[in-house]
Amino acid sequence: MLCNAITCGDDQIARDAFLTESTQETGEIIPILLKGLKCHSSRLVLNILQALLRLLNTDTTFNVQGQQNSVYNKMVESDARTFIEVLTNHPTQGVFDAAQELFEAYNTLDNEFGDNEYVIEDRPMDTNH
């Protein structure tokens, strides 16, 4: 259900799912979603990959790329690359394609902001989106 809210909701709903304060730490949903990628259901894995890509894209929408509070940063902290790389060899075409798309988006950010070097200081999130 949460994956559907992220993929089908507007940008603010997706970002709110990432910024939930119920656990005292921003982005706690990322490691949960990454662990879900180990499921045997291709349909569920595809839905999770789509949700992760949508969340990653909110970094650009809300202009927080490379910041401490970015989805990308939480994915780095959660070793997302390891989870995603495994799926780039998935036998199901849809999962393979989604994993490849997420991997490419992640690598693009990794090339720009890799090694946890925040090249942009955190700034307030624009809530007008």
pLDDT in the model for residue 5: 79
pLDDT in the model for residue 1: 66
pLDDT in the model for residue 25: 60
What's the maximum distance between 2 C-alpha atoms anywhere in the chain?
Answer: 42
- Give the domain range for residue 65: 2-113
Count structural domains, the chain.
1
Would 125 be classed as within a structural domain?
no
d(CA 113, CA 118): 6
pLDDT in the model for residue 126: 47
**CATH label of the domain that carries residue 24:** 1.25.10.10
pLDDT in the model for residue 123: 45
Would 127 be classed as within a structural domain?
no
pTM tops 0.85: no
C-beta pairs of 77-80 under 8 Å, 24+ apart in sequence:
77/30, 78/30, 78/31, 78/34, 79/34, 80/30, 80/34, 80/52, 80/106
Would 102 be classed as within a structural domain?
yes
pLDDT in the model for residue 115: 66
Would 9 be classed as within a structural domain?
yes
pLDDT tens, N- to C-terminus, the chain (129 residues) = 678 878 888 888 888 888 775 544 678 889 999 999 999 899 999 999 999 999 999 999 999 888 888 999 999 999 999 999 999 888 999 999 999 999 999 999 888 887 654 444 444 444 444
Would 119 be classed as within a structural domain?
no
d(CA 78, CA 26): 13
Would 108 be classed as within a structural domain?
yes
Residues in the chain: 129
pLDDT in the model for residue 27: 80
